[in-house]
Structures are given as structure tokens and as C-alpha cells.
Amino acid sequence: MSQLCRHCATPLNMQFLDLGFAPPSNAYLEPADLSRPEMTFPLRLQVCGKCRLVQTEDFAQADALFTKDYAYFSSTSKGWLDHAARYADMITERLSLTADSHVIEVASNDGYLLKNFVAKGIPCLGVEPTQSTAEAAEAIGVPVLQEFFGAEIAETLPKADLIAGNNVYAHVPDINDFTQGLRNALKPEGVITLEFPHLMQLVEFSQFDTVYHEHFSYLSLIAVEHIFAAAGLRVFDVERLPTHGGSLRIYGCHKVASHSEAPAVATLRADEAERGMNDDSYYLAFQQQADRVKNDFVQFLLTAHAEGKTVAGYGAAAKGNTLMNYAGVRTDLVPFICDAAPSKIGKLMPGSHIPISPPARLREDRPDFLVIFPWNIAAEVKSQCQDLADLGTRFVTAVPELVVTELVASE
């Protein structure tokens, strides 16, 4: 029996991507865990032929993915902090937010965004289900409700002038309930902004490593407009962002609100249609692209190993977990990965069991090649590791295609 679309309940009969079996991408292991079984789930995506929502098959549950010790902290990346600060300044001016306004962020993580509103004296509330990140936010003065956001919880919240959600819309298992929650918590003329990776960029730049169980949905404007309309909402503006390899920031409101539709919405609708996102063929060709990226990466690692070259990784990110688990990479080819997040250091990558070390280890072991798994912040990582480049380390990214670079030595 076919799984039904999570939005419109249409039977799903079209496969978009099959990455085999993998553990949840943020289920980092302690060394003691190696003596116990590790849970894995099929990692397959299907596409709805009606609303065009690309979605994971139903295997992993949200409470198994976002646990109290969830290890992703948004503040680890300076580039993301800067992005959040710019957004706070922009949206405060655009919506004329004041001390009489109210801002809600769903999936507020460690307070990386709302701390900017706290500093401006604008009342705000974060809704965050993971204890570790919620406590980090509260420690810097950001009020947090530790709950999963949805329609029922939203009814209990003070109505908001702005509801922000960054990289959460793709993570919710019940996207209809979540969207209804946005509507329930919004003032009549309030504004919703959601940022999420754009499916069009994922396809056209072969970003299959952004696929993992924690991402239940892969979103286009086509799909989001279907979902919003069913909840009594509409999209009235959209921006294309460079974050996470190419994202959208959509602006939503109540269907009857006075916000006029910006020309950018029609432009993106037309662009998605022109690229073929209303056609089955657009989705059916993606498996071959993913396999090419995986095969090129494995060949690079095997060649480096055969030549006696050392390889290390940087960024114990979900992207790296998806790539390495699909490629079957283990410690014989990548002995260790470095990461700046204290919550990950000393743990092991799920599936591959590659140990996670502090960045200082790169200076001790100086690898011949450093694979940057979070390719969306590759420039930031290269800048931080200029001293390694001066000593001859070459940097590698695998997506959208294998690139091995050599930085010019600093003066």
C-alpha cells in the first residue's frame, strides 16, 4: 500500500531518491555506544504528483530525532550569527517592530536569533523542543517554551506580529499541523517568515547530502503555496538567499490580510515552472546525480589512500553523515573529523563511527587533504585554516562536484 502525501493525502508512487539505510544524522555516539546496536532507518524520498511535496518515507519519529541532548547549536557558525543579526535589523525596520510588538521564533535553538530582539527591547518568545539548546538560550536571556510547535500549542501563545522559522519547516513531521499553528499564533496583520533550503537548488546542484531523516520535507514555492492555502495563509513575498546552498525566505500572512503580493512571488513561480518542477521528469533524474557525486568522492578517497596521502574531515555535520553513510566511508579512509562544537567533540559520527576531534588536532596531524563536509561554509573554514594551507594541506569539497583546491600561501 502506498504511503499518502503528508500534505494532501495523495498516494505516493514516485521515488525521488534512495540512499539506503542510515542512522539519524545527528545521533552522535559515545565510545561506550559501540558495544550496543545502532538503529538505522531507510532513507528514501518520494514526491507527490499533485502538490509536489518531496518527503521522506515514514520510518523515524520526531521524538527519536530531536532528543534532549540534540547536538546542533546554531551559534557555532559566525556566518550564521551574522545572517541572523542582519535579518533582525531588516525585519525590525520593515515591520516597524517596537517594545509594543511580539515576536515568536519556532525552533529557536540556542537563542542565536532572538537575542537580537532581546537587545532591541522587543518582546519575544522561543519555542524549542530540545532541552540542551533551550537551556543555552535561556542562559543568555531569551525566554523559551520547551515544546514542539503545532496548532494546539499555538492556541496558548500570545498572538505575534512576527513569527520566524529558520530551517525548521523541512523538519516537521506534520507539516499541516505546524502550518495551522503558524496561523493560530499570528495577529490579523502579522507576518510569518520561513527560511528553508530550496528544492530547486538541491536538484540543480546535486545536494543530496542535505537529505536526512530529520528533514521530513524538501520544499519548493509550488508546494509551500499549496500547504499555506489549505491553512488559510498565503505567500506575499519571497527572497532567494545563499544560505545552506541556496534557500528561500518566504513571507506569509493570513489570506485576508492587507499585504500586497510582491512581484518576486510571480517571478519565482514562473522560474520553477520553467525549470520543469511541475513535471515528473524533473524529479525522476535525481538519483543518477547523487550516484555520480558519491562515486567521485569514493574514487578520490581510494586514490589518496593508495598514494599514501592522509585525509581528515572538517565539520561533523549532518551533510557529512549522509554522504559518508551512503558512500560507505569508514575510518580507514577518513580517520577523524574535526569540529568546533564542544557538544560533538569526543563523540563518534553515526554510522561511520569516525571520531570527532577538536580543530587543534589538524595542527598536530596536518593532513594532506581536508574534506570540508559543510560545503555551504567552506569559505569560512578555509579562512580559519589558512595556516594549514601554508603548510601544504589541500581542501576538498564533494558537492556539487568534487573540487580539490590549494589556497595561495599567505604573505
Q: For residues 320 and 279, state if they share a domain.
A: no
Of the three residues 227, 251, 284, the one that is the final residue of a domain is 284
Query: What's the pLDDT at 2?
Result: 76
> Which pLDDT value is given to residue 282?
96
Which residues have C-beta within 8 Å of that of residue 116, sequence separation ≥ 6? 84, 85, 88, 89
CB atoms within 10 A of CB 32: 7
- Residue 278 is part of a domain; what is its CATH number? 3.40.50.150
Q: What is the pLDDT of residue 73?
A: 65
224: cell is: 509551500
Q: Are residues 198 and 128 in the same domain?
A: yes
Based on the fold, state whether residues 89 and 117 are members of the same structural domain: yes
- The reply to whether 210 and 110 lie within a common domain is yes
Question: What's the confidence (pLDDT) of residue 92?
Answer: 98
The helix/strand/coil state of 43 is strand
In tens, the pLDDT along 109-167 reads 999 999 999 999 999 999 999 898 999 999 999 999 999 999 999 999 999 999 999 99
Higher-confidence residue of 70 and 356: namely 356
Task: Note whether residue 7 is domain-resident.
Answer: no
pLDDT at 300: 98
Q: Kindly state whether residues 233 and 311 are assigned to the same domain.
A: no
Q: Compute the Cα dihedral for 37, 146, 346, 78 and give only its sign.
A: positive
Task: Quote the percentage of the chain above a pLDDT of 90.
Answer: 85
Question: Could you tell me what percent of the chain has a pLDDT over 70?
Answer: 94
Q: What is the pLDDT of residues 208-219, one digit of tens each?
A: 999 988 889 999
Final residue of a structural domain among 267, 284, 301: 284
Looking at residue 71, its pLDDT comes to 46
Pick from 339, 373, 334: which is nearest to 352 by CA?
334
E runs forming strands in 256-341: 311-314, 337-338
Phi, psi of 314 (to 5 degrees): -130, 130
Task: Phi first, then psi: give them for residue 42, nearest 5 degrees.
Answer: -60, 140
One domain, residues 376 and 300: yes
**pLDDT confidence of residue 63:** 52
Q: Which amino acid is at 88?
A: A
Give the domain-ending residue among 284, 318, 335.
Answer: 284
What is the distance between the alpha carbons of residues 53 and 8, in angstroms, rounded to a whole number?
9
CA atoms within 13 A on the CB side of 301: 24
Same domain, 270 and 353: no
- Give the pLDDT confidence score for residue 404 in this predicted structure: 96
How high is the pLDDT of residue 72? Answer: 60
Residue range 308-316: mean pLDDT, rounded: 97
**Interval 184-193 mean pLDDT:** 98
Same domain flag for 359 and 229: no
**Tell me: the pLDDT tens digits for 12-60?**
999 999 999 999 888 899 999 999 999 999 999 999 999 999 999 876 4
Q: What is the DSSP string of 69-102?
A: T----GGG-HHHHHHHHHHHHHHHHHTT--TT--
| 228 inside domain | yes
pLDDT digits (tens, 9 = 90+) for 195-244: 999 999 999 999 999 998 888 999 999 999 999 999 999 999 999 998 87
Q: Are residues 95 and 241 in the same domain?
A: yes
Q: Are residues 255 and 292 in the same domain?
A: no
**Contact (Cβ atoms closer than 8 angstroms) between residue 199 and residue 54:** yes
Angle between helices 263-275 and 221-230 (to 10 degrees): 120
Report CA Rg, the chain.
21
Is residue 338, in this structure, part of any structural domain at all?
yes
Domains contained in the chain, number? 2
Domain that holds residue 234: 74-284
Concatenated DSSP letters for 142-207? --EE-S---HHHHHTSPPEEEEEEES-GGG-S-HHHHHHHHHHTEEEEEEEEEEEEBHHHHHHTT-
